[in-house]
Structure 1
């Protein structure tokens, strides 16, 4: 009992430790609402703690927030929308084509940010000063230049965990032998074929990133920061901290360096917001249970091919459960009576309702995290990026059923839902993972705030960085050492071979001389 009291006192002192009010610049240029949902939870908490937050994004606050300033970037609005409108065409993309399409977005996104009038005004202002830069790490390399421009420490946020280009900024290691690429549907226990595929995929990704994509980002950096005193490569080595939207209970244990911190679930409130009255009544009256269906914030259900829409309508019509469908149009022809449509739902609050029994989702990481936190079994229909991997992991962990969108039919959809609704093992499994996710010494948002303020308290906290971040690829993997050792071994073997060859020649020479003498005698 005493130990518990001491622990709570120590924990309370950590969370209330004084940190001077700071001016913070946040840059989230990617036009995905789910990415910004992750960031905004952290930014709003910083503002509540008295820090002055300037947020560069596509998603300004609907209502004014104290200590919070938005800089709106509408120029990037259609970058992802154009990619996702034609669902059939998107489904034809291979994993590598999917990856390259993402990189193309980055090369368009960053110049759009720099050309924005408000950003230009910010860059030219002599009065704007910042104590910390919080930067999204996804496809935003040239934007890292804002850290050198304002001479401020830089912290990275990753909305999907880590990958090779994120590992690079902090010198982290991600062995491809057991850590799958986010663009593959593998988990940590890979077969030989999967390990080979994963190795090749990561290799191609690294080659494309380092020799095609990154040089183009360096060109953008030089264009908009012509007087920069340090290179983009040097800025990449100055990250104080990286906060990851991940947690081992959501995926799997893996290595991290000291300044990589897991804060998966940071956007989830411990006490969900109340539901709108009409929605609350609809779910309260769902005596047979309810199903929640959303394809996320980027992909819109209204853009689904007509034949796929009809499959969903037919299956939903046959269910006795009610269905909440995130449908981005005011009308849905032939909508069944048990289906409730809306362009937007407060998803965490919906999933928290006890009558919601299953969640049909695209498998995005935020949605997967919310499903686990609120213990709802999942029917996953992955579309692109990390979604196939998230759904594959959920299926292997026993709280999800997966359906291939390309071959989606009424029988498979209905069978998958029936399994989730009537086989209790799926709910039992997700409840176990929910318990693990919730069992943390601090909430994810408290963890994030503690480490961000730690960086502020310790002048950038560069002591957290490991020296692996300063090494190049050859040095980091000791390839130069291995080549030296191999060279020495080859030299020694060559020398020994030469000596043996000469000895053999000498021996045979002496023998031949003896034979010649004996013949002469």
Structure 2
């Protein structure tokens, strides 16, 4: 009887899940894997929960189940046709130049590639329907039109965590005194000068974003979604949910609106068995292993020869073995304790107990995976949010960063030893891992719950903040402060007039002494 009851419950659960299965569209425009992996992690979680998922993007999930469909846009891949950029060139670019490139070239270029693609046009002209549309929030506002087109709730995910672009969608505040700009190597404890620089950069960013970038996105939106029910401005105020690639245990607390949800680590799956050659290399590493990768966008092969040789010489002096993700098939003068491969299963490697250190560019994806497994960091930040991430590591005590311009054999070797020979750094990384794992639901479970919540409640307007409906003047109380200043000015003016009149009256009145003298005369 007990077995029959269990079987009955199982059948009911399967039937409920099938009946509840939603159709969800994911728009993942980024060419770089570090951004795409976040979106794919979200879509995989929804597919595993039984929903029918369609993904528009540059990559394809090879082991996808039948309810996961990918519309592959090969034109989004950077190195298609040999056009791969060398991102090391951006290391010395001023912050405003990087923002200019994002706002004028990278973001609009990716969005236009998606919206003008024949496969996407076929999708837009089809009779398909979706219960929710999920779009990456990374200079891609024109793509929010997919939600309006399919009359579905808009859900976005932010690969940078709580960015200005994401916060504005749901009315989340981000005080400049506390929240450092993405491109600055500051923490939530800033000095006076840091707060000054942070405020100037935030305001410059916001001014260009609102006055030059968004109008261009609106033009693109109107061009590709001419018949949608919502205007661009209405669409920007109609976001149901923001999923953040962030967790407070990895950074610092942020103020959030109710419909901003942290799902940091969504891309991390259960560790898989390592390839035989990597497993043998790790097993034969008596003193442990260092894993070295500059991520998916930066390429180790693009290091200048003197920088590459500095790493080679420094590694040759180590007692530890080194796994180096290096995108060429061979490495000149490779030491015996180094294994190079064009691709490595990063999460599976970082999960191995013999891996003692992760040398990284400081990207949020790799940093999150390292901390998930309690591995300390040695960062070589180049651009974007990498300096910010390594500033957090330095403040949190679970890693240090080194300057690209100073890279030489001795500097690299001493920095590696500074981490490996200091037990407290590894202990801090393991403490962060314990905090990161201590939560009621996994990132995948959290994602599924909130996406389903939005679908169940038809956009969940009850989560929305009234802040998105307020103008700049209203939100910042400039009208109220203006009235206060005007009232105070009127009061001061009134008091001033009264005082002047009283002084004039007193000055004109006869003096008592003179009056008595006249009478006696």
Deviation at 1:84, TM superposition (A): 4.5
Aligned to 2:300: 301
Deviation at 1:342, TM superposition (A): 1.0
**Do the aligned residues in 2 keep the contact of 1:83 with 1:90 (CA within 8 Å)?**
no
Deviation at 1:505, TM superposition (A): 2.8
How has the CA–CA distance of structure 1 residues 457 and 57 changed in structure 2, closer, same or farther, with 3 Å as cutoff?
Answer: same
Question: CA–CA distance in 2 between the matches of 1:437 and 1:247?
Answer: 8
Q: Deviations over 1:461-488 (max 9, x none)?
A: 1111121121122211212211121111
**Do the aligned residues in 1 keep the contact of 2:291 with 2:358 (CA within 8 Å)?**
yes
Structure 2: 5+ residue stretches without partners = 1-12
**Do the aligned residues in 2 keep the contact of 1:24 with 1:52 (CA within 8 Å)?**
yes
Aligned to 1:354: 353
**Do the aligned residues in 2 keep the contact of 1:296 with 1:361 (CA within 8 Å)?**
yes
**Do the aligned residues in 2 keep the contact of 1:177 with 1:195 (CA within 8 Å)?**
yes
Aligned to 2:92: 92
SS across alignment from 1:241: strand
Deviation at 1:119, TM superposition (A): 0.6
**Do the aligned residues in 1 keep the contact of 2:78 with 2:85 (CA within 8 Å)?**
no
Report 1:257-276 matches (<5 A).
257-269=257-269, 271-276=270-275
1:50 aligns with 2:41: no
Q: Deviations over 1:141-164 (max 9, x none)?
A: 011111111111111111121122
Aligned to 1:441: 440
SS across alignment from 1:54: strand
**Do the aligned residues in 2 keep the contact of 1:19 with 1:457 (CA within 8 Å)?**
no
Aligned to 1:326: 325
Deviation at 1:79, TM superposition (A): 9.1
TM-score, normalization: structure 2? 0.92
Aligned to 1:8: none
SS across alignment from 1:345: coil
Question: CA–CA distance in 2 between the matches of 1:431 and 1:50?
Answer: 34
Question: CA–CA distance in 2 between the matches of 1:90 and 1:69?
Answer: 35
Report 1:51-70 matches (<5 A).
51-70=51-70
**Do the aligned residues in 2 keep the contact of 1:31 with 1:79 (CA within 8 Å)?**
no
Question: CA–CA distance in 2 between the matches of 1:516 and 1:84?
Answer: 97
How has the CA–CA distance of structure 1 residues 515 and 166 changed in structure 2, closer, same or farther, with 3 Å as cutoff?
Answer: farther
Aligned to 1:166: 166
Report 1:387-426 matches (<5 A).
387-426=386-425
Moved more, 234-243 or 489-498: 489-498
**Do the aligned residues in 1 keep the contact of 2:142 with 2:221 (CA within 8 Å)?**
yes
How has the CA–CA distance of structure 1 residues 518 and 448 changed in structure 2, closer, same or farther, with 3 Å as cutoff?
Answer: farther
Moved more, 390-399 or 91-100: 91-100
Moved more, 172-181 or 508-517: 508-517
Question: CA–CA distance in 1 between the matches of 2:153 and 2:517?
Answer: 88
SS across alignment from 2:56: strand
Q: Deviations over 1:282-319 (max 9, x none)?
A: 11111111110000111111111111111111111111
1:371 aligns with 2:370: yes
Aligned to 2:22: 22
Instruction: Number of aligned residue pairs: give it.
Output: 504
Deviation at 1:229, TM superposition (A): 3.1
Aligned to 2:10: none
Deviation at 1:330, TM superposition (A): 1.1
Deviation at 1:64, TM superposition (A): 4.2
Deviation at 1:507, TM superposition (A): 2.8
Question: CA–CA distance in 2 between the matches of 1:273 and 1:246?
Answer: 24
Question: CA–CA distance in 1 between the matches of 2:65 and 2:211?
Answer: 42
Q: Deviations over 1:394-418 (max 9, x none)?
A: 0111111210112222222111101
SS across alignment from 1:61: coil
SS across alignment from 2:54: strand
Question: CA–CA distance in 1 between the matches of 2:213 and 2:236?
Answer: 15
Deviation at 1:113, TM superposition (A): 0.9
Question: CA–CA distance in 2 between the matches of 1:66 and 1:317?
Answer: 48
Report 1:99-498 matches (<5 A).
99-104=99-104, 105-125=106-126, 127-269=127-269, 271-498=270-497
Question: CA–CA distance in 2 between the matches of 1:480 and 1:517?
Answer: 58
Q: Deviations over 1:84-121 (max 9, x none)?
A: 5152x312201222222222311211111111010111
Moved more, 54-63 or 321-330: 54-63
SS across alignment from 2:25: strand
**Do the aligned residues in 1 keep the contact of 2:87 with 2:297 (CA within 8 Å)?**
no
Question: CA–CA distance in 2 between the matches of 1:190 and 1:177?
Answer: 7
Q: Deviations over 1:324-382 (max 9, x none)?
A: 11111112111112111111111110001111111100111111111111111110111
